[in-house]
Every structure is written in structure tokens, then in C-alpha cells.
Structure 1
Amino acid sequence: MQGLLKAIPKFNLIQATVQEFIKIITPIYQLLPKRFRFRQNYRQLKVNDVTIIACMLARIALRDPSETHFHQTLAASGVVVPERSRYNRRCRDLLQIMKLIRQYLLKRYRHGSTYEIIDSAPITLVSARRSNQAKVLRGVAHKGYNATKQLYYYGFKLHAVMDNDGYFVNWELTPANVDDRKPVEELLREAPAHQVLADGGYLSRKLQERLKSQGINFWFPLRKNMRKTDHINSSFLKNQRRYIETGFNNLNIVGHFEHPGTRTLIGLGSRLAALFLWNIIKVHSNLAQGKSGLSIN
């Protein structure tokens, strides 16, 4: 009997990645309210919610820019998933569940932060010169200006708050023409911190005073022609603030969110929810291994 060969099953890369995310998500999914887990006709699902979410996270981890191509790859790799149109609907329907799982993981993984950084990034649907003829999300998206890249675009603006460990603790989506300062108080209300760093686009004395009354020290760089106060215009703080730009760049490398190619708002929301859920899992993994939270290798 000892001489008989033993068949040891080997998972391919996609199967192994999906299984890894299933192990992480399953215990958190069991903690969700019953109205999410036991919704109508849940017994008739051939593929459970955890597997669908794990597949979405695996696409991000493997940096596949096309959901259609990755769905074909899943099927070819032996992962049981619904047919493509149903799979896309399931992904959209899991938006709220992914947000809840992300909140649970944040509470479990985060242990306080020294400071937080707030910034925005463009989500381009079409170029500015085609914006007048664009029909994608007409009436919801808008034309805006990206000061970093110095170009106009048609789409949305992603506002996000990141802490010093690399966790994106909160995010919000607005049309591209919305001022960066408008969603600040709402974002920081759900992600409170005593020290918050921002860039020159958030320069506002009134906003700074309102946040100070809430116990938040809101820092932004002053212009050279502004009168001197007790405000510290430190190059060190400017360098620390740039870490969120690295965070956005990492998310774009793996999730391609700046040019999503989606045609529905809920589809864009589900992709962003999966992307920020992946960020929480990845940063925790990096920190547990002694790496920087901003590393994606």
C-alpha cells in the first residue's frame, strides 16, 4: 500500500487566489445581518456570495483590466461561476455587502492612526473633446478639470481618505465638476482623525475653522502671498501628503479605476467597492509581513 502513488490536487494560480480570498471573507460574511445573507431566493443560488466577491478580488489581485476576459479565464480555470451577464448582475447586487465587509475588516485591522490624508482622483469616461456628444451616464457625470494632469475630462471625481498605514478608510464619488472641499466634512465624519493633511485645492480658512471646532487639525499648504499665521507650512508635511498619490496610483495599476469603461453607475460603484476592499486586505497582509502598506508587489 505504501508504494501506491498518491494523487495530490494542485490548484492553478486563479483557483489558489480565489480560495485565499474565500478564507478571508467567509468568517466576516457570517457576521453580516440576516437580511443580507438570507434574502429572497437565496437557496436557489448556484454560486454563493462569498465566491463571487472572491472572484472580483482575484481579478484585481491578478491585474486583469477586462471583466469579460477574466470571466472567461475563471471558467477555463475550473472555477464555477454563473454565465457572464448573470455574473455581472451578481457583482452589482453585492455592492452593499462588500461595503459592510470592508467596514468589519477596517475595525478589525486598524489600531489607530497618526494622521490621515484626503485627496481626489479623476475617473474619465470620455475625453473632454467628446463630452458634448457623450451619452454614457448623461445627466450624472459631468465635465471637470484635473489640475495635476492639467486637462479637462468628462466623468467623475473620486474623493478618498487614507491613513498613514495605507488603509483607505473612506471614499465618495461625485461628478467631476464638484469642488474638492464640498465632501470633506462628510468624509471625515465617518473617518475621524485629529490630524488631516490636504493639498492646495482644499485651502479654505472657514473649512479649517469648522473642522477645528470638531477637534480636527486640517492642514493644507499656504500660498506665498498669504499672510503669515501660526500655520506651519512644512515641506515634511507636503511630502507626507503625497503618499495618497502613491495609493491612488497603486489602485489604478491593479484596478484601472481611472478609465473603468463602465456604462452604469452601480457597476462603477461595485468595482470601486471591490477595489477598496482589496486595499484593506492587501495593506493588512503587507503590514503583517513587515512591509510598507503602500507596496503592491
Structure 2
Amino acid sequence: MDMITILFCSIDDFCKWFMPLWEQMLLEEGNPKKSQRDGTMSPSEVMTLLVLFHQSNQRHFKGFYTHYVPQVLGGAFPKRVSYQRFVELSQSVMIPLSAYLHSRRVNSRGIAFIDSTPLKVCHNRRISHHKTFANLAQRGKNSIGWYFGFKLHLVIDDTGELISFFLTAANFDDRKGLRAMTQFIQGKLYGDKGYISKALKATLKTQGIELITGVRKNMKKESLSEFDTIMLKKRSLIETVIGQLKSFTQIEHTRHCSVLGFMVNVVAGLIAYTWKLHKPSLMSRINPKLDDGFNLLNPSQPIFI
């Protein structure tokens, strides 16, 4: 069984379980889900193609759907609809797509790393003319400089698996986002200096979480165990994960035409990462900067950064 079939079966099995629950919830809220017309693509097919786009090394989804899919994946998706109709269908699966992403996360095994990364939605020179995210995106600043957009917060374990994720405006304080991401974390959590907070550290300790960060130059050094000192140096693991997300998936680009389309793209990109065959890991014997199986469409062809 090829990897594309495995991916589709996983998504389809999830949809068979999730969709009836979702439709029942909508009925109870007095907002029944509109039924699809016969002959259109199923939600499972739509979700699979959204994920496969991030596995295909294609840069533009329209080119992927109108050219790559018919030529390479035509037999696997015989009921393809027009591109415009697919865009509508892709936005309609935002809820099941998000639920599927949550089903792919793992629980902390005692060691976790946290970091955030910017998701720019336009060039700084076009901020005053930007309309798609005019009331949502904000100006933020990282080590490189100012940008306009959002911030993706991630927590991973020592094997590179996603534990938690959180999307905010670019000016959101990383420490505030941490509180919304700790329900799946136990044990030690390693972060950079942006997460320094005595109050937050004390609060997390009552939840069984030990937040460990470096210190700023004007702060008194804390005595850390040899193990914690080594793990802080290994925090670059999550930076490798972020680098691969931005190198191999299209979670960051400036061509979005709608807020919902942006959300669908980010969620699909994160799902694509969870299907990566070899994730960066502290115990991996391969170079974590090599990707030897990210692409489900060509799993035998390594891709190098």
C-alpha cells in the first residue's frame, strides 16, 4: 500500500467517525450542515489533497491542482471538481481538518521544547495597503526585525513530534500563549529567553511542569543540573522543525485571499509535517537537517536543505 493511500485511509477513517458527531452538534445548535451535491469530492478527498500539496514541493496551490494533480494523481482522484469549486470545498472542511490535526498530536513524554515563529502575510512596504488581514494581522518583532502577520507557537517532544500548537497575532506575548498550550505537557519544558517569567514558572510548577529557560545578561545565573544545561543547548531541535516547516511546506506565503484560506493552509501544512517519515530527533542517527522521506509522493527520493 503506497503512502498516499495510507494518508487517505487515515483521513477517511477519521471523517467517518468525526463527521456524524459534527453534524449532530450542528443540528443541536440549530445550524444544520448543508449537504453536498452528488458527484462532488468527498471531504476526505479534499483534505487529502490539501495535505498532499504540502508534500509535493509545489509552490502555488492553483498550479498543483490544475496541472500536477491531473498529470500525477489523476487516477487517485477521478471526481475532481473545478479549481474554484475546490477552493470553496477546502474552506468547508476547516473544522474536520483542524480536528484531524489534533488527533495527530502526541502527549509529552517528560521532555518538551517550545518556540514561536513569524508567519508574514505581506512585505513591510505593503502593510498600509494590505486588506485581507487588515483587522487581524499585527506588527511584530523577532531577532531579524519587524514584520506584519501572525505568530505560530509550537511545542514538540524530543522525537520532533507535535505536542501543541497555537496561532496568534504577531504582537502576542509568547508567555501568554504558553498557558493555552500546557494541557498536553508534563515534566520539563525548555524555552528561550522570551519565556522568562517567575510568576509563570511558579504557576506551571503547580501543574507538574518545570519551565527551564536561559537567562539574560543582566540577570543572576541559575544553577542548573548538567542534564538541563545540555537540554537547553539542544533547544535548536525545535528551530530545525520550524525550518523544515517553512522549507518544505507552504505555511508561510503572501498570496492569501481570505482568512479562512490562510487557516486551512497552515493546518494542512502542520498535518503534512506529522506525516513526515523521519522527523528531527535528539536520538536520531541521521543529520537532523536532512529530510530523507518528507515527500509522500516520492518517499524514495531524499530532499536536502
Q: TM-score normalised by the shorter chain: which range applies?
A: 0.7 to 0.9
Separation in structure 2 between the aligned mates of residue 153 and residue 112 of structure 1, nearest angstrom: 32
The answer to whether the 8 A contact 2:188-2:211 is kept is yes
The answer to whether the 8 A contact 2:149-2:169 is kept is yes
Kindly tell me: are residues 117 and 111 of structure 1, through their superposed partners in 2, closer, same or farther at Cα, counting changes over 3 Å?
A: closer
Structure 1 counterpart of 2:30: none
Structure 2 counterpart of 1:144: 140
Separation in structure 2 between the aligned mates of residue 293 and residue 100 of structure 1, nearest angstrom: 32
Structure 1 residue identity aligned to 2:195 = Y
Report Cα offsets for 1:238-275 as digits up to 9, x if no partner: 22211111101111122122325213221111111111
The answer to whether the 8 A contact 2:137-2:149 is kept is yes
The answer to whether the 8 A contact 2:161-2:279 is kept is no
Report the TM-score, using the length of structure 1 for normalisation: 0.82
The answer to whether the 8 A contact 2:237-2:280 is kept is no
Is 1:160 matched with 2:154? yes
Separation in structure 2 between the aligned mates of residue 182 and residue 250 of structure 1, nearest angstrom: 25
Report Cα offsets for 1:119-177 as digits up to 9, x if no partner: 11111112223322322310110111121xx2211111111111111112221111111
Report the TM-score, using the length of structure 2 for normalisation: 0.80
Gaps of at least 5 residues in structure 1 are 1-15
| Residue of structure 2 aligned with 1:220, choices 213, 221, 225 | 213
Structure 2 counterpart of 1:27: 13
Question: How far has the Cα of 1:112 moved from its partner?
Answer: 5.1
| Residue of structure 1 aligned with 2:202, choices 206, 209, 215 | 209
Kindly tell me: are residues 30 and 275 of structure 1, through their superposed partners in 2, closer, same or farther at Cα, counting changes over 3 Å?
A: same
Is 1:296 matched with 2:288? no
Gaps of at least 5 residues in structure 2 are 25-32, 293-305
Separation in structure 1 between the aligned mates of residue 95 and residue 63 of structure 2, nearest angstrom: 25
The answer to whether the 8 A contact 1:118-1:161 is kept is yes
Is 1:200 matched with 2:199? no
Separation in structure 1 between the aligned mates of residue 8 and residue 240 of structure 2, nearest angstrom: 28
Aligned pair count? 275
Is 1:41 matched with 2:35? yes
Q: Secondary structure, in 3 states, of the residue corresponding to 2:128?
A: coil
Matching of residues 176-195 of structure 1 within 5 Å: 176-189=170-183, 191-195=184-188
| Residue of structure 1 aligned with 2:109, choices 103, 107, 113 | 113
Is 1:257 matched with 2:251? yes
The answer to whether the 8 A contact 1:127-1:154 is kept is yes
The answer to whether the 8 A contact 1:283-1:293 is kept is no
Question: How far has the Cα of 1:232 moved from its partner?
Answer: 5.1
Structure 1 residue identity aligned to 2:134 = R
Is 1:129 matched with 2:125? yes
Structure 2 residue identity aligned to 1:86 = R
Structure 2 residue identity aligned to 1:85 = Q
Q: Secondary structure, in 3 states, of the residue corresponding to 1:126?
A: coil
Structure 2 residue identity aligned to 1:138 = A
| Residue of structure 2 aligned with 1:68, choices 31, 37, 62 | 62
| Residue of structure 1 aligned with 2:47, choices 29, 32, 53 | 53
Kindly tell me: are residues 123 and 112 of structure 1, through their superposed partners in 2, closer, same or farther at Cα, counting changes over 3 Å?
A: closer
The more displaced of 37-46 and 50-59 is 37-46
Kindly tell me: are residues 17 and 24 of structure 1, through their superposed partners in 2, closer, same or farther at Cα, counting changes over 3 Å?
A: same
RMSD: 2.8
Kindly tell me: are residues 240 and 158 of structure 1, through their superposed partners in 2, closer, same or farther at Cα, counting changes over 3 Å?
A: same
Q: Secondary structure, in 3 states, of the residue corresponding to 1:165?
A: coil
